A and B are shown apart, each in its own frame.
Chain A
Amino acid sequence: MSRSNWEVVIGLETHAQLNTASKIFSGSATAFGAAPNAQASAVDLALPGVLPVMNRAAVERAIRFGLAIGADVAPRSVFARKNYFYPDLPKGYQISQYELPVVLGGSLAIRVGEGADAYGKTVRLTRAHLEEDAGKSLHEDFHGMSGIDLNRAGTPLLEIVTEPDMSSSAEAVAYARALHALVRWIDICDGNMQEGSFRCDANVSVRRPGEPLGTRREIKNLNSFRFLQQAIDFEIQWQIEQIEDGHKIQQATVLFDPDSGETRMMRSKEDAHDYRYFPDPDLPPLVIADDWVAQVRAALPELPAALAQRLQAECGLSPYDAAGLTASREIAQYFLDALAAAGTPAGAQLPKLLANWVMGELAARLNREERDITASPVSAARLAGLVARIADNTISNSIARKVFEALWNGEGTDADAIIEAQGLKQVTDVSAIEPIIDEVLAANPKSVEEFRAGKEKAFNALVGQVMKASRGKASPAQVNDLLRRKLGG
């Protein structure tokens, strides 16, 4: 069996929990982790006679999203009831949007892969609509019974649906990551995947090139990028094997089991509910005036795609660097703050150097200590001060790492103070370096001989010796220069 004979078609539906203080149709709080049913009001419990009232803040977030993906914000959209029975669905219906959603169209640019194989792609969005979440059924610790926690019931969700535009798990993950970054960037969702604030359903089908779309199966509730990738990969493989074995794919909803790494059927098309959608008579159509949209647009931050473009154009950064720095609003803000602190001079190298440090040393260190960039011990201004000293050749990169370490540990107020106090300034005085070179050449006649015989590696060894002898303070470029001159190379 060969994957290359097959085309994969993937569409994603993502539920992003909107970060409003209260629920979508009641005044209850939405905070995660309260005691069961402590955040369930009469409306959330669906007592007789209660009515839903739309939370304006949820609508505002939907508008923000629509504008951020270049979609149309519907001037009039309609809430519908999706009817089915389940113990954690208190009304026996979910209020959602069906025929007329609040956001239509739009697209999201993604970058897939790394390095030379990386490529860009645009994923089209079909729609995004507002709806309420259900509660939770708790199946443990109740001695044969199930517990119902309705704290989550009525939490606002934005369901974001793509066109079937992705053709690999890598593309699906790249899209999910970009969407995850975007909803956090525009501050409509906290993106906490462990708590279920951002979860994906993947519709997957395969076909031979040139054939019509295959039958899709929907993988439900994937709450990590890794599971998304694993589930899709398993599903693709499974579908191809089924077809190659002469079976037909039946439309179905499946669940991914992270322990086995497999998908298994939850219900077939025959078992599919008839949800009996109809417009909710308790809620008038949602009318969004143009001036509201204009207000939201005016308050929107610069979007990641636009900022990435700007960083490439104004700072000469690569698409890869620009994408990395706009992976989250916090990283971008850190970088912009550092850039501002560094000022404009110091050579064209500075933004690139700064980008390397933010995504390299700093990111690695933060990652290692599981810290958020907003809680970095090295502030943007201090990192800028450090990088500026690299850019103007005051210190080398390796010395800079020592200074960074000192800054991280809170030794000294800024890079300059540390460089001064520890005497780390790069030595660029020829008269100070020449004697060291002479000593090294005298002590390593073998290397000198090898270099003269054409071995470039021997040269590097000599540079290393000189750097070591200068305790790292010599400028590598200058040492290179002087050595070559002395060796007549």
Chain B
Amino acid sequence: MSDTVKSLSQQLQAGRVSAVELAQDYLARIKGGNAAINAYVELNEAQTLEEARAADALRADGGGGPLTGVPIAHKDIFCQTGWHARAGSKMLESFAAPYDATLIERSRAAGLVTLGRTNMDEFAMGSSNESSHYGPVRNPWQHAAVPGGSSGGSAAAVAAGLAPAASGTDTGGSIRQPAAFCGISGIKPTYGIVSRWGMIAYASSLDQGGPMARTAEDCALLLNAFAGFDERDATSLQRAPEDYTRELAQPLAGLKIGVPKEFFAEGMSDDVRAAVDAALATFRSLGATLLDVSLPRAGMAVPAYYVIAPAEASSNLSRFDGVRYGYRAPEYSGLDDMYAKSRAQGFGAEVQRRVLIGTYVLSHGYYDAYYLQAQKVRRLIADDYATAFAQCDLIMGPTTPTVAYGLGDKTDDPLSMYLGDIYTTSVNLAGLPGMSIPCGFGAGGLPVGLQIVGNYFNEACMLRAAHRFQLETDWHARTPQE
């Protein structure tokens, strides 16, 4: 199996390898492997090696922490000095942020070394990474398949062994779904745990950054670095710092796992069902109890999500107007034409679709029927989860109804693509933590993801369950041969 963050950390701490050696090794792998999958959109060898040298120097001085010198790839949505932040868009092709996102700042403070910037759906809008202006990412397991999205570049880079870990963001499933499609682990924490400062906004009330890696244990180590209160983000939660690895050694005896029947309904493919059922059986064998729970309003999550997220996006993306930075149409007549042409040329089709939907649902006369109604549904979904969590510790089910589909299969049918988010969006709407871990393979030898949802701030328990599962299985250790 490829190296994990944990093993690299141990090797660095034991002095068996230097940060520079690790960086060079990964940069060489990227050189060899990236062209086939297009996971990275920006590399900067000098920058990477400078960070690696600094990490080695720190370690040589007896400083640094467990992650000092461990390489990481960052999703192109986080502002990071020294790099572009293009968010997969032509609109930001020339944009380089003059400041670091908090996640980047914390990543630097932990000593993580940036390998490069990973591809993504434009402004995180997409479930297949096909909306990126910088070309689609290919699934390392099968290059004709999509890697999922929007954090498709991050997922593919980790799956292909081009990075031991990566940052991602998740608005309706953008960490979990690509993690599932690419056979890796990824966690979206409780909303407010990871600061959104410097993370280019898609839908502010849903966006949440988090780590993607091979194992749950790696995710816990990285979440320790990423999480924390930030006064620059008014939605960041002021809580005592926690060690997300603290429960990893505890067994699962007595753990109550709720299985919502709504997650095993129509639309779920047989291969996914079989893999998830087997995973649940494994949890039972590890001492956990399975019980049926119900999320009666879960079916309303996709429609509610595709009202709320575009509404916020339509407003969040208004700043991309060609006035101060970013793309401006070369020719225009007057101000309104400059706006119209710059945005029509700078944004891709999916972004324009969502901006239009969002503008529509917020319009006078439609606001009550769409936006307000969707907010009510959002509360009902959160209520459903609250009822379920009164009976169980964790909720488990499939991350996606099917394994990764083929490139181009759904690009002409956005609705069917949206319906692929059926199990993930409700978690964002409720603000709960969710993760995906590999639990088998389905049609075409493509990975299947198991989704684990926890109650608010219950990340440590989710990570424990995932870790104990990974001690028992080797799905996470499999690597693509393509």
Contact = CB atoms under 8 A, between A and B. Distances in A.
Grouping DSSP codes into helix (H, G, I), strand (E, B) and loop, the A interface class, with mixed when no group exceeds half, is loop
B234 A283 contact: yes
Given A42-B99, A93-B315, A283-B234, 5 more contacts: A47-B79, A48-B95, A53-B234, A83-B362, A93-B318
A483 interface: no
A48 B319 contact: yes
Given A276-B315, A276-B363, A47 B205 contact: no
Nearest to A146: B335
B323 A87 contact: yes
A48 B315 contact: no
24 contacts: A45-B324, A45-B325, A46-B319, A46-B324, A47-B99, A47-B325, A48-B79, A49-B101, A49-B196, A49-B198, A50-B197, A51-B232, A52-B234, A83-B315, A87-B321, A87-B335, A92-B315, A148-B323, A274-B364, A276-B315, A276-B367, A278-B362, A281-B235, A282-B204
A91 B95 contact: no
B239 to A, nearest CB: 15
A274 B364 CA distance: 6
A91 B201 contact: no
B371 interface: yes
Contacts of A52: 234
Contacts of A83: 314-315, 318, 362
Contacts of A193: none
B121 interface: no
A274 B92 contact: no
B197 A49 contact: yes
A42 B235 CA distance: 19
A49 B442 CA distance: 38
A52 to B, nearest CB: 7
A48 B80 CA distance: 11
A142 B78 CA distance: 35
B319 A49 contact: no
B235 A91 contact: no
A186 interface: no
B200 A284 contact: no
Closest 8 CB pairs of A and B: A92-B318, A281-B205, A276-B362, A281-B204, A49-B198, A46-B319, A48-B200, A49-B79
Grouping DSSP codes into helix (H, G, I), strand (E, B) and loop, the B interface class, with mixed when no group exceeds half, is loop
Nearest to B100: A49
Interface centre among B198, B314, B315, B335 (most CB of A within 10 A): B315
Chain B interface residue count: which class?
35 or more
A85 interface: yes
Interface string A45-63: 1111111111000000000
Given A49-B85, A49-B197, A50-B198, A90 B97 contact: no
Contacts of A54: 234
B312 interface: yes
B319 A91 contact: yes
B359 interface: yes
A84 to B, nearest CB: 9
Interface centre among B234, B312, B320, B362 (most CB of A within 10 A): B234
Interface in B308-340: 311-312, 314-315, 317-321, 323-325, 335, 339
Contacts of A47: 79, 97-99, 325
B234 A90 contact: no
Interface string B200-242: 1101110000000000000000000000000111110000000
Nearest to A79: B234
Contacts of A284: 234-235
Interface in B95-132: 95, 97-99, 101
A129 interface: no
A81 interface: yes
Contacts of A281: 203-205, 235, 312
A51 B196 contact: yes
B87 interface: yes
B166 interface: no
A264 to B, nearest CB: 21
Nearest to B92: A48
Interface in B63-82: 78-79
A46 B323 CA distance: 11
B257 interface: no
Nearest to B79: A49
Contacts of B203: 281
Interface in A242-289: 274, 276-278, 281-284
B318 A91 contact: yes
Contacts of A45: 324-325
Contact of B371 (A50, A51, A53, A278): A278
Contact of A49 (B200, B323, B324): B200
Contacts of B78: 49
A48 B320 CA distance: 9
A83 B316 CA distance: 10
Interface centre among A46, A49, A283 (most CB of B within 10 A): A49
B157 interface: no
A243 to B, nearest CB: 29
A81 B314 CA distance: 11
A53 B98 CA distance: 19
A372 to B, nearest CB: 39
A222 B204 CA distance: 37
A281 B314 CA distance: 13
Nearest to B364: A274
A278 B315 contact: yes
B356 to A, nearest CB: 12
Contacts of A276: 314-315, 359, 362-364, 367
Interface string B275-301: 000000000000000000000000000
A59 to B, nearest CB: 13
A366 B314 CA distance: 55
B448 interface: no
A49 B105 CA distance: 14
Contacts of B235: 281-284
Nearest to A87: B323
A359 B251 CA distance: 84
Nearest to B343: A85
B199 interface: yes
B128 to A, nearest CB: 23
